Amino acid sequence: MPYTKAEAKLSVGARSYKFYRVKALEAEGYDVERLPYSIRVLLENVLRNFDGRDIGQEHLEALARWNPKNPEGEVALKVTRVVMQDYTGVPAVVDLATMRDIAVKSGADPKVVNPRVPVDLIVDHSVQVDYWASPQALSMNIRLEIERNRERYIFLKWAQNAFKNFRVFPPGTGIIHQVNLEYLAKVVWTEGDTAFFETLVGMDSHTTMINGLGVVGWGVGGVEAEAAMLGEPITIRVPRVVGVRMYGEPKPGVTATDIVLAVTEALRKVNVVDAFVEFFGEGVRKLSVPDRATIANMAPEYGSTVGLFPVDGNTLDYLAATGRPEDLVALVKRYYEEQGVFGGVEGAEYSQVVDFDLSAVEPSAAGPTLPWQRRSLADVPKSFVEFLAQRKKRDKRKAVEIEIGGRKVEFGDGDVAIAAITSCTNTSNPYLLVAAGLLAKKAVEAGLEVPPYVKTSFAPGSRAVEEILRRAGVLQYLEKLGFHVVAYGCTTCIGNSGPLPEPVSKAIREADIMAAAVLSGNRNFEGRVHPDIRAAYLASPPLVVAYALAGSVWKDLSKEPVGYGKGGKPVYLKDIWPAPEEVNEAVSKAMDPKVYVEKYSKIGELVPEWGELKAPSGDLYPWRPDDTYIQPSPLFEGKPISGDIINARPLLILGDSITTDHISPAGSIPKDSPAGKFLESMGVQPKDFNTFGARRGNWMVMVRGTFWSKGYTNKMGGGLEGGYTIKYPEGVKMTVFEAAEKYKQEGTPLVILAGKTYGAGSSRDWAAKGPKLLGIKAVIAESFERIHRSNLTMVGIVPIQLPQGVTVDSLKLDGSETIDVMGLEDLAPGKEVVVRIHRKDGRVDEIKARAAVYTWAEVEYIKHGGILPYVLKKLLQR
């Protein structure tokens, strides 16, 4: 039962609520006053869910006696709710539907498998930019999206009716994180007469955007989110909390995007991986909630679990401005005051404090391949030239003449092939979008045009912000430059950029042109935005428009003209950049709570094609063997690791910074790939392959696409392009999937060896599920990114961390070795294990490594072959 010693009452208007006062622990000798805000939120969660079993005294002690310099222990939490997008959500719902089938076969009621907390799935990741620069682009893209994804959308409509506590937001609503910020979040949640801090996990790493509203939430892998949905506590290590003291005030012309790129660069340097980051100080008060949300969104890029802002007057203003009820706004203020955290925590202790001067931030972009490669505008051309020299071995610009749109133009290295206002990071921010619109207005009035080779697109994160642009009178100017609305969803930022114009594509392929992309996103890993575009720069929406007009990243926009307008007059960036006063005035006039209320009241009515989809009914899903989108999950089959791993073969030997984009299938499905060949064998035409993301509900496609990426190198065989390996003992080159299948037939366990930060990037569940189904038993790496390490344990793969000073290169492996991992039989958190390497010349090397398994819950998952079999077993025993 809850920790009754901390029970208290508060009244708001005519209503009275019970709540669990964290400061009540002071009477028991705990020094709560020194605790940061995020630790207090976790502590309240423990007090309220305290049951002495899953959540007990050790969890309370670990938080109440939190040691900032050396936090110890683990804490189990029960989150308020779960959010998911369709890419990650579909396989999660497939797993739940499969669990229902197994429950029935075990003689149980299928309804025993049902979400225990509210779950919202927003369909936002499946739309592609097939049509652009046209008033019809939006409707045509949505129509294509629903045609391509009919099977999975029918499955989601079935799930919405079959499961309780499960709500689906149809395509065309908006981006998950923006819908969460503008509509779903309450900051203070109530159940019955109890009020409490809202907490959540999301099946997307940028769930942290909600931290801008003061809500503690972060991204987790799909399997962990499923456990939370089913009422399981989420167990995390007690975190370090890094305080970022913000001071000063942004200069005129500096945007929230510039600030977050500078924050990302600064925090990458001090290593906040696995930490909670809290922003505090006088500078925070200068930032609106949309600006805070932009900064919080990119927490995965600076590496922290959360990037949390306080709840203060700006928070209340935002809740009111987005149409939240007055009684909720009043409850938030009263509850936070009663908990002693309204406006932040004065005098909190932190594990480390980082000073950040807002006045020192300059306009910038990040690239060409990493979000933390921040560049001043003057340095953008230099960074591209260096990248060109690395990739193409040339430092002079190469160009060809192409004919496009009835015009002959020059197209060459550094020219912008894609300019996209996209991604939750920035399209949730009315100030950034209005700034882009005002810049477009001034550009049009100056006579500037976008070159015809630039593919322009605008995918706002909600219909509300589009309406604000319309009310501000600037949407029409974006459209005149080709930035028509193409979707309300996550597009270019995740690689759903669609096709390039054929003359552009041909020039890139046949003339070996190194084109560039500029986007207002949060990720720009090489090849992510589009397979033909290796260089991509993250920038604010107004800078995206500016680079589209310039047509090239080879230009130094700090001093060169953006273009030439009426009468051939040069037009510079300073000539068209809107003043902060202009932006603020336009936003204040256009913002209206009624816009948010009206747009979100029509969910489900705005896309007639969704309403026309006919879904089956019943507690069990009627699987079809010929369905190439949805198939029951095999993750409940197979034997868990019950002891040491003996005579394993390396499937891959990898270097540093292998991202989940490298591991997890993403983007379009190539015809010559194992997945493409499988789909053809099922009668699917290449034009209908769709993307890996769209087919995440079919494990047979996904396992064939695992590691099928051209963005990494396998060190075996002298260095192989991604997707291929050497099968031993034969020494034959083949695809990763083919080799894994042959090893499986032989009964050979597999391991992966890698360098530093294995699994960086988004929380992609298939980056763990795929290797599991390939037969991987352990990943042996120099270090792991937080979310992916957790995901590995969730599917029953053991992460093994090499000792300091031992690298994947120092091991001098060629792939012909066999590997034993000893010490797994009595696995415990952080246990030392022995990695034994048998070389083909008979030598045997032994390395003392450590199991990167942090909690006893993770030990249980590995013993059961994953969290899903573990949870299902518990459900069936109830």
Mean pLDDT of 71-98: 92
Mean pLDDT of 356-361: 98
**Residue 556 and residue 650 in one domain:** no
Q: How confident is the model at residue 230 (pLDDT cuts 50, 70, 90)?
A: confident
- Position 570 pLDDT exceeds 90: yes
- 234 occurs within a structural domain: no
Report pLDDT for 762.
Answer: 67
- Position 349 pLDDT exceeds 90: yes
Report pLDDT for 763.
Answer: 59
397-426 b/e (C-beta count within 10 Å ≥ 16 → b) = beeeebebeeeebebbbbbbbbbbbbbbbb
DSSP 529-561: SBTTB-EEEE--HHHHHHHHHH-BSSS-TTTS-
Least confident range from 271-280, 483-492, 553-562, 600-609: namely 600-609
Over the chain, what is the mean pLDDT?
94
Mean pLDDT of 570-577: 98
Report pLDDT for 27.
Answer: 95
Note the pLDDT tens digit of each residue in 177-211.
999 999 999 999 999 999 999 999 999 889 999 99
For residue 342, give Cα distances in angstroms to 185, 314, 335, 455.
17, 11, 8, 46
- 337 occurs within a structural domain: no
DSSP 762-814: S--THHHHHHHHHTEEEEEES-B-HHHHHHHHHTTPEEEEPPTT--TTTTT--
- 101 occurs within a structural domain: yes
- Position 649 pLDDT exceeds 70: yes
Report pLDDT for 668.
Answer: 82
Two structure tokens written together for 77: 């939490």
**Residue 109 and residue 22 in one domain:** no
Check which CATH number belongs to the domain holding 752 and give it: 3.20.19.10
Report pLDDT for 133.
Answer: 96
Among candidate residues 192, 227, 262, the one where a domain is terminated: 227
For residue 256, give Cα distances in angstroms to 289, 297, 375.
11, 11, 15
The Cα 142–Cα 270 span in angstroms is 43
Q: In this structure, what DSSP letter does residue 691 have?
A: B
**Residue 199 and residue 213 in one domain:** yes
> Which distant-in-sequence residues (6+ apart) come within 8 Å of 672 by Cβ?
none
Mean pLDDT of 58-82: 94
- Position 606 pLDDT exceeds 70: yes
Mean pLDDT of 505-514: 96
pTM of this structure: 0.87
- 265 occurs within a structural domain: no
**Residue 214 and residue 189 in one domain:** yes
Instruction: State what percent of residues in the chain have pLDDT above 70.
Output: 100
**Residue 696 and residue 550 in one domain:** no
Report pLDDT for 380.
Answer: 98
Mean pLDDT of 555-574: 97
C-beta separation of 181 from 428 below 8 A: yes
**Residue 460 and residue 562 in one domain:** yes
Among candidate residues 227, 248, 267, the one where a domain is terminated: 227
Mean pLDDT of 576-586: 96
> What is residue 456's three-state secondary structure?
strand
**Residue 798 and residue 833 in one domain:** yes
Looking at the structure of the chain, the number of domains it has is 4
Note the pLDDT tens digit of each residue in 77-89.
999 999 999 988 9
- Position 395 pLDDT exceeds 90: no
Note the pLDDT tens digit of each residue in 145-157.
999 889 999 999 9
- Position 115 pLDDT exceeds 90: yes
- Position 672 pLDDT exceeds 80: yes
- Position 764 pLDDT exceeds 80: no
Q: How confident is the model at residue 284 (pLDDT cuts 50, 70, 90)?
A: very high
- 283 occurs within a structural domain: no
**Residue 168 and residue 35 in one domain:** no
Note the pLDDT tens digit of each residue in 297-327.
999 999 999 999 999 999 999 999 999 999 9
Note the pLDDT tens digit of each residue in 623-641.
999 999 999 999 998 778 8
- Position 878 pLDDT exceeds 80: no
For residue 870, give Cα distances in angstroms to 230, 520, 874.
12, 41, 7
**Residue 14 and residue 125 in one domain:** no
Check which CATH number belongs to the domain holding 180 and give it: 3.30.499.10
Q: How confident is the model at residue 604 (pLDDT cuts 50, 70, 90)?
A: confident
- 529 occurs within a structural domain: yes
- 621 occurs within a structural domain: no
Report pLDDT for 211.
Answer: 98
The Cα 779–Cα 758 span in angstroms is 9
**Residue 773 and residue 835 in one domain:** yes
Q: Which residues face 275 on adjacent strands?
A: none
> Which distant-in-sequence residues (6+ apart) come within 8 Å of 337 by Cβ?
none
- 57 occurs within a structural domain: yes
- The closest alpha carbon to 298, from 281, 326, 325, 277, belongs to 277
Mean pLDDT of 467-485: 97
Mean pLDDT of 358-384: 96
Among candidate residues 77, 92, 108, the one where a domain is terminated: 77
**Residue 397 and residue 443 in one domain:** yes
The Cα 704–Cα 738 span in angstroms is 9
**Residue 739 and residue 720 in one domain:** yes
Two structure tokens written together for 64: 């109440």
Q: Domain span at residue 12? A: 4-77
Mean pLDDT of 36-55: 94
Residue with the bigger pLDDT between 751 and 855: it is 751
